[in-house]
Amino acid sequence: MGAAAEYLGEDLIFIISQPRSGSTLLQRVLAGHPDIQTSAETWLMLHPIYGFGRGGIRTEYDHGSAAHGIREFLQFYTDGEQVYTSAIRAWARELYGNALRKGGKQLFLDKTPRYYFIVPELYRVFPRARFIFLLRNPLAVLASELKTYVKDDWNKLSSFDADLRKAPGLILAGIKTLGDKATVIRYEEFVSDPERNITALCQSLGLSFHESMLDYGKTEAPRGKMNDPVGIHRHTRPSTESLDKWKSLAADRQARHLALAYLRDLGEDTLAQFGYSYADIAQALQSGRTAGSGMLYPWQVAITPQENWNFRQRASSELYYALRRRGPLLGPVAAGWRMARYLWRQLKAGLRAAPRHRL
């Protein structure tokens, strides 16, 4: 017998989206298909693809040196970079294939939102996989992040910087790269007419539609913690309940400030390519009265990791939280004291690090 054909992902389906875009709902509906096996977010393909030398990764063992070593090994002792790609394919065939055999299914659906970072590489490694791009109003994504994870601890927002600001552009670039091999579905259209949209999606994927898929309450939930912790459990069928919840951002001064700043960061062109109107979203955010008073936590401070803050950003954060804790009289004094202590620590660290010269 001849060697088995190289694995090209013919039994894989990837969902690419921003987190909090309704990908868990779409996954659960598709999981109701008799041929589809899925799981909690696997994150499987990020490690091997980043391992070849992609930036954006920090490791204890020094990722840069490891990537350099891998490239040299491939260059001098193998048939080249394609060997690494073939190794990823073989590794993926074993992992996904084992899950399919165990589940008795034919197709594996991998829903890992941060695959938006590696769409071109995924497509190169698995050219026969099916790719679903789920789009949702990014302001709805922001509203969900704020409610689910941030919860008024504005410093946490920086953890979602890439999800909010990088993901839309990378998703659009991925759709362009795949061309007619990209299947695009919009969350708002999906939940408004689920039968029509899932029927069309199944047809695009080369699958039969089963009406029972829409009643996902009867479909076993993926096991594991890497899943939607909130929304999916409120219904058993796609619902329009969350369509306009993002508009509640307009009712709070702080939330509206963050939303309008995020909208400006995205820009009209990105929103238009996603299929949403910049002007309509801005109008919805600026309409009506807003609750709250006092200092606003700046968007640029909230979205920037603390280790990257400049002096002004750190001072803004200290003042905001000091005002909340101590009030308008003692707050500025407390913030000033904390910033003085910070400067003193920085000065001492600089003195310790400075080279000493003998006379």
pLDDT digits (tens, 9 = 90+) for 105-132: 999 999 999 999 999 999 999 999 999 9
| Inter-helix orientation angle 63-77/81-103, to 10° | 110
Please give the DSSP secondary-structure letter assigned to residue 298. P
| Residue pLDDT, tens place only, 60-113 | 999 999 999 999 999 999 999 999 999 999 999 999 999 999 999 999 999 999
> Any idea which residue has 């065939």 for tokens?
93
| Residue 8 φ then ψ, to 5° | -120, 15
Distance of CA 26 to the CA centre of its chain: 15
SS3 at position 305? coil
In this prediction, residue 1 carries a pLDDT of: 43
Distance of CA 356 to the CA centre of its chain: 47
Please give the DSSP secondary-structure letter assigned to residue 165. I
Q: For the chain, how far is it from start to end, CA to CA, in angstroms? A: 80
Q: Is the pLDDT of residue 161 over 90?
A: yes
In this prediction, residue 3 carries a pLDDT of: 58
| Per-chain mean pLDDT for the chain | 92
| Residue pLDDT, tens place only, 311-325 | 999 999 999 999 999
Please give the DSSP secondary-structure letter assigned to residue 19. T
Q: Is the pLDDT of residue 356 over 70?
A: no
Give the CATH number of domain 12-234.
3.40.50.300
- Enter the tokens of residue 32: 């109701």
In this prediction, residue 223 carries a pLDDT of: 86
Q: Is the pLDDT of residue 358 over 80?
A: no
pTM of the model: 0.92
Question: Where does the pLDDT of residue 226 fall: very low under 50, low under 70, confident under 90, or very high at 90 and above?
Answer: confident
| Residue pLDDT, tens place only, 26-41 | 999 999 999 999 999 9
| Residue 13 φ then ψ, to 5° | -130, 130
251 vs 216: CA distance, rounded Å: 33
With beta carbons less than 8 A apart as the criterion, state whether 160 and 19 touch: yes
| Residue 148 φ then ψ, to 5° | -85, -40
217 vs 97: CA distance, rounded Å: 27
Q: Is the pLDDT of residue 337 over 90?
A: yes
Strand order in the sheet with 36-38: 36-38, 107-111, 12-16, 130-135, 182-186
65 vs 273: CA distance, rounded Å: 39
With beta carbons less than 8 A apart as the criterion, state whether 75 and 258 touch: no
Identity of the residue numbered 294:
G
With beta carbons less than 8 A apart as the criterion, state whether 140 and 245 touch: yes
- % of the chain surpassing 70 pLDDT: 96
Question: Where does the pLDDT of residue 353 fall: very low under 50, low under 70, confident under 90, or very high at 90 and above?
Answer: confident
- Alpha helices by DSSP H, listed for the chain, are 23-30, 46-51, 63-77, 81-103, 119-125, 138-145, 161, 167-178, 187-192, 194-205, 253-274, 278-286, 299-302, 311-353
With beta carbons less than 8 A apart as the criterion, state whether 170 and 120 touch: no
Q: What is the largest CA-CA distance in the chain?
A: 86
Question: Where does the pLDDT of residue 230 fall: very low under 50, low under 70, confident under 90, or very high at 90 and above?
Answer: low
Q: Is the pLDDT of residue 229 over 70?
A: no
Average pLDDT over residues 43-68: 90
Q: Is the pLDDT of residue 357 over 80?
A: no
> Any idea which residue has 């969900």 for tokens?
144
Residue 36: Cβ-neighbour burial (10 angstroms; 0-12, 13-18, 19+): buried
| Residue 104 φ then ψ, to 5° | 70, 30
In this prediction, residue 231 carries a pLDDT of: 65
Average pLDDT over residues 250-262: 95
